[in-house]
Chains A and B, each alone.
Chain A
Amino acid sequence: MINKDEFTRLIEAEFQVENPKCQLTPSTKYKETEEWSSMLALLVIVQITDTYNVVLDEQDLKNCPTISDLHQLVVSKQNQP
C-alpha cells in the first residue's frame, strides 16, 4: 500500500523543480496551482511510472482533481492483476 503522505511528497518534489516554495497537501487541487502545466503533468506521470510502475494518461488526470484522488487511482491500478 502506497502511503498517502509519501505520495504527496513525491508529487510535491516535481512541483518544487518548478517552484522550490511550492507545498502540496492531499486535498490540493493541483491542476489549479500556478505551477501546473502540460510539461509538469508529463513529469508527474513519469515519476509515478518510475516509482510505482503505474502509467497514467490524460484522462486519468482529468478524473482526479486532488492529490488524494490521484493517490487512490494509483493504489487501485497497482492492485489490478
Chain B
Amino acid sequence: MPVLNIKNISIKGIAATVPKKVVHNSDYPYLTEKEKNFITKNIGIHSRRITAPDTTASDLCFHAAVKLLKDLNWQPSEISVLIFVSQTPDFITPCTAALLQTRLGLPKNCLAFDINLGCSAYPYGLSVVGSILQNIPGGKGLLLVGDKSSQLVNDKDKSAALLFSDAGSATALQNDHKASPMWFDLCTDGEGAKSLMVKGGAGRHPFHPRSLDEKEETPGVIRHDLNLILKGLDIFKFSVTKIPPSVKMLCEAAGIPQEHIDYFVFHQANKLINQTLGKRLAIPLEKMPDTLNEFGNTSSASIPVTLAKKLPGILGSGQHTILLSGFGVGLSWGTAIIHTENLYICPLIELE
C-alpha cells in the first residue's frame, strides 16, 4: 500500500515478557560440537527462552499488559481497543483477543480481535491500533504481540531448532493531538508463503491421524505436518532485498534523512541477515540494538523485546526518532518511523 501516515497517536509505554527458562544452543543434542559451534557462531544465537508447556503466547502478553497498565497508572476501564497479533493463538476459535479482554478486565465496549502475522507483526499492529484510535478522541488502546514458537518448531529440525525463543509484549497507545506523525510502509508477497509455513492442522490440510508422523525431509531436518517449515536461504534473500529499499523509501517519504534516525530496531532474525541489512544500509552498529545472542528470534515480539532489553533508559527521557522494521512469514514486511517523547519502557519481565 502507499505510505501510511498516522497522526495524533502517541506510544505511551512498552513492556515485554520472556520465560525465565534459558536453553543453551551448546546443549543441543542432535549436532556435533563442531557443527553447533559453526552454526551458533554464524547465526549469533547462544541461548534462548522457552516457556513451560502450559504457558501460551497470550499468557506472556497478559503479564506484560498487567505490568504496563499498572506502571502507566492506566485503568482497564479506559481501554477501548485491544489487538492481539500472533501465529500461536490459544484456540483455533474464538480469537484470543476476546479472552484477553475479559482476563484483563477491559470493558465490554472494547474493540478486540486477532491478527495472524509473525515477524512483521509489530509495525502492522501499531498501524492498526493507531488507525482505529485516530477516530477516538483521547482513546487508549493496547497492542499485544507475541508468539510461542517452541510449539511450532520440531526439536529435531536443525534448520529451525536453534533459532527461536518464546516472548510476549504489550504496547500502550493513546490518541494525543500533540503527537508527531507515525509513518508506515506495509507490504506483502504471498508468492513466498511456502518459505515459512505450518502446513497442517487448519483448513487446507486438516489434522488427521498421520499429521504427527515425523519425516526426515533432508539430513538433520526432521518434522511433522504441524511443525514450522523454514527455508533459510529464501528468507535471507527476501530480507536483504526487501528491507533496505523499504527503509530508504520510508525515510524519504517522511522527509527524515536516514542519519537523523536515532535507532534502527530490526526484527531479530539471525546474525547474517541483520549484519547484511546493516551493511547494505550503512547503519552504524551502535544504532542497531541487538538481542540475538541472548534471546534469538522471538518472532512477532522481537522488536518490543529488543526495545525493552536495550533501550529503556535511553528512550525514557527526551525525544527520539526510531525506525522499526519487521519481516517474515507471509511473506510480509513492515517498516515504521515513530517519534517518541519520554517513552516509558518497562525493563524486560521474566516469567517463571
Are A42's CB and B232's CB within 8 A? yes
A17 to B279, CA, bound (A): 21
Total count of chain B residues near the partner, CB < 8 A: 19
B102: Cβ under 8 A from any A Cβ: no
A46 to B218, CA, bound (A): 22
A64: Cβ under 8 A from any B Cβ: no
Count, A-B residue pairs, CB within 8 A? 44
A2-10, A20-28, A54-62, A66-74 - interface stretch: A54-62
Chain A residues within an 8 Å CB radius of B319:
none
Q: Mark B214-237, 1 if CB is under 8 A from A, else 0.
A: 000010000000000001111011
Are A38's CB and B159's CB within 8 A? yes
A50 to chain B: closest CB distance in Å? 7
Q: Which of A10-63 contact B (CB under 8 A)?
A: 17-18, 37-39, 41-43, 45-46, 49-50, 55-58, 61
Instruction: Find the B residue at minimum CB distance from A43.
Output: B42
Chain B residues within an 8 Å CB radius of A56:
233, 237
Chain A residues within an 8 Å CB radius of B232:
38, 42
B45 to chain A: closest CB distance in Å? 12
Are B159's CB and A45's CB within 8 A? no
Chain B residues within an 8 Å CB radius of A17:
38
A57 with B234, Cβ < 8 A, contacts A39-B42, A50-B279 known: yes
A66 to chain B: closest CB distance in Å? 18
Chain A residues within an 8 Å CB radius of B38:
17-18, 39
Are B233's CB and A61's CB within 8 A? yes
Chain A residues within an 8 Å CB radius of B237:
45, 55-57
B234 to chain A: closest CB distance in Å? 6
Q: Out of A18, A37, A50, A57, name the residue touching B276 (CB < 8 Å).
A: A50
A38 to B241, CA, bound (A): 20
Chain B residues within an 8 Å CB radius of A57:
233-234, 236-237
A24 to B232, CA, bound (A): 24
Are B42's CB and A42's CB within 8 A? yes
B240: Cβ under 8 A from any A Cβ: yes
A80 to chain B: closest CB distance in Å? 13
Q: Which of B229-252 contact A (CB under 8 A)?
A: 231-234, 236-237, 240-241
B272: Cβ under 8 A from any A Cβ: yes
Chain A residues within an 8 Å CB radius of B240:
49, 55
Are A58's CB and B233's CB within 8 A? yes
Q: Mark B277-300, 1 if CB is under 8 A from A, else 0.
A: 001000000000000000000000
Are B233's CB and A43's CB within 8 A? no
Contact surface of A with B, Cβ cutoff 8 Å: 17-18, 37-39, 41-43, 45-46, 49-50, 55-58, 61
What are 30 A-B contacts with C-beta separation under 8 Å? A18-B38, A37-B35, A38-B158, A38-B218, A38-B233, A39-B38, A39-B39, A41-B233, A42-B42, A42-B233, A42-B272, A43-B272, A45-B233, A45-B236, A46-B276, A49-B240, A49-B276, A50-B279, A55-B236, A55-B237, A55-B240, A55-B241, A56-B237, A57-B233, A57-B234, A57-B236, A58-B231, A58-B233, A58-B234, A61-B233
